[in-house]
Chain A
């Protein structure tokens, strides 16, 4: 069914200066901003509506700031390697692309592993989403928010890793015939990956430090 030629898949549109795929991912990211914006707004509304003595700081709730910091560094680094993988492609350096993309995937997996370690720590201390902080007459929903927000973020990380894995192992065959088009796909994945990183950069201080 794809014999019809749809323009601006490789060449940028004169008015917007980008390809359709790139415009599309930006629009998608706008919707993601609204999604995480709704989640953060909910955090604000719930926190403002709870007496201060019932809302824990991240440390009081049992969050481990050093581990969270490590995870932040992991994700930021993975964003750098993501850019490097795209830059390698633009410079026709396929080996560089593979290395940096592999690193990005590896760092993403590392993030997830550290996260699941954190989760299991919490579970072993009896802290689940349904557990209020403190377990008292007017508990706060901090734990519910923590698990839901980081869990959703982790789902986004998994999706990003999946796309990158596909690009590295299967999508890469496009590089031979249409290198620019493949570079465009990597760039689009990179934009998404940066966004996922950016969300974490907001999540970390909000949950762990405030």
Chain B
């Protein structure tokens, strides 16, 4: 499959590549930079929350006059940071990393394909992502600053907001296009390009998770595309899709004609954004499954129920969206429907997590660095999922809606949830991509420090929310109940800065290990899946000859086998 070809120039090989591995690396590095930026925004916000009105140390002096007053943050800047933190982390950080980077690099290898089904479309997807990301970041430097109406961009506020919101909308259109094209690519690749013998139920769970994720992207994103077009029309063409009649802003009737519905935006937005949160977690679950199977030296427990749960979860994710809208004046019929679907969707989630946990039984557990992150993922995602329960029921949500409890809930799922899964994936596949192993001590330090500080950040938030403190507050201390909870804010802020520092061993490890002379083995984890069957790094075209698959993906400790792993691409005797 890979034939000799003329050596490509720098641009064709590294910048305009159509090779899924190069594109995966592009996605990965870009996403990590965006994650770093999104995280930095939050660290500034955390200063304002912990020490309201005080000048931000180190960077305060360098920030623009419209952002800070003598180094102390202004409310406008706070709102911009808040909106952009969410937007950047979700759309420019996690999804490109989980799907664009890990998906692109690993999926074709794990299914034994020479590349994705549409390599040039793949390149276009990355470029659309990059353009969208640049537009988003550029908005900070436009008059009026970046978007500041939350990552949720609810109108009428977002309709009448400054120019940054228009940039947000255009940026989203590019980011959505990137995900749509990528999703199509993944579906066709996984359905069509599996190696001989690789039936659907022999696929690694990671590939299944990417397949379902791709369907979510393809079917859910268009709703936000439509909403973004409507909001652009409202902002640029003077329409009133989301503006009811008679609005009075700052004492004056606004110029819009009216007749629109703010709730329409919410329905369209959440129709995407709920499946989007499953896009955020499923690839991570896939990575955790790979790492657990590999480091327990036995097949995953309940592979089939896990796959069926995945499919059911994907389907159900389209039926729960209005649980984000319980407090919009909803009556009993609608709320009953959405509470019921929300309760139902927790079942497949619990099944998948339970199967991963039960996979530890009867194992021979290796505490490698990826495995540490995978083990931690289990209770952390557990907390995230469990805290969804009082939020998913409308009555408790009356109190908890839009408080720090919500922030704690979803961050537990994406931060010590998905991000830990991303770390696990990086540590796990680093030898495959670079041919080197990462340093153990730095890995352990990174893990333990991150685990401690993640909990230091988000556990206090659950209590702060329970105390009634609302989110998106530039300075909550004007509220008596928030003053009482200020110590929790301090713990969260210092833990956030601690978490930042804890990434230093990781960053050092990541770059320094690449330069090591000593190469890692070809299959250092003694894994069974196809990506380990080829050279390191895999050549263009991936496999010298099309691989053939003979068994399931996790044939570890097979009774009677010579070693404790039987790769699925090696025919077993007897």
Contacts and interface: CB of A to CB of B under 8 A. Distances in A.
Between A42, A49, A131, the greatest number of chain B beta carbons within 10 A of the residue's beta carbon is seen for: A42
A147 B2 CA distance: 51
Contact of A42 (B3, B119, B219, B226): B226
Interface in A31-62: 31-32, 34-35, 37-39, 41-42, 45-46, 49-50, 54
B305 interface: no
A137 B259 CA distance: 9
A129 interface: yes
A78 B366 CA distance: 64
A72 to B, nearest CB: 23
B192 A39 contact: no
A24 B32 CA distance: 29
B140 interface: no
Nearest to A45: B264
A102 interface: no
Contacts of B17: 1
B115 A131 contact: no
Interface string B195-238: 00000000000000000000000111111011101100100011
Interface stretch (B239-247, B279-287, B491-499, B518-526): B239-247
A144 B540 CA distance: 50
Interface string B1-44: 11101001000100001110000000000000000000000000
A80 interface: no
Interface stretch (A12-20, A107-115, A196-204): A12-20
A132 interface: yes
Given A4-B541, A6-B114, A131-B257, A141 B188 contact: no
Interface residues of B, number: 56
B75 interface: no
Between A3, A8, A34, A128, the greatest number of chain B beta carbons within 10 A of the residue's beta carbon is seen for: A34
B261 A46 contact: yes
B427 interface: no
A141 B242 CA distance: 10
A144 B230 CA distance: 9
B257 A130 contact: yes
A13 B192 contact: yes
A130 B239 CA distance: 4
Given A38-B271, A144-B239, A132 B192 contact: no
A16 B192 contact: yes
Nearest to B268: A38
Contact of B264 (A6, A16, A46): A46
A23 B119 CA distance: 15
Contact of A1 (B193, B263, B271, B540): B540
A3 B4 CA distance: 8
Given A7-B193, A141-B259, A148-B229, A34 B240 contact: no
Interface in B111-128: 113-115, 117-119
A139 B243 CA distance: 11
A45 B259 CA distance: 12
Given A27-B187, A46-B260, A1 B240 contact: no
A38 B223 contact: yes
Nearest to A130: B238
A50 to B, nearest CB: 6
A50 B241 CA distance: 12
B5 A141 contact: no
Contacts of A42: 226, 230, 241, 264, 268
10 contacts: A3-B541, A23-B188, A31-B184, A34-B220, A38-B222, A38-B225, A42-B241, A129-B238, A137-B245, A148-B233
Given A138-B259, A144-B233, 6 more contacts: A1-B119, A4-B541, A27-B184, A46-B264, A141-B260, A148-B230
Interface of B: 1-3, 5, 8, 12, 17-19, 113-115, 117-119, 180, 183-185, 187-188, 191-193, 218-223, 225-227, 229-230, 233, 237-241, 245-246, 256-261, 263-264, 267-268, 271, 540-541
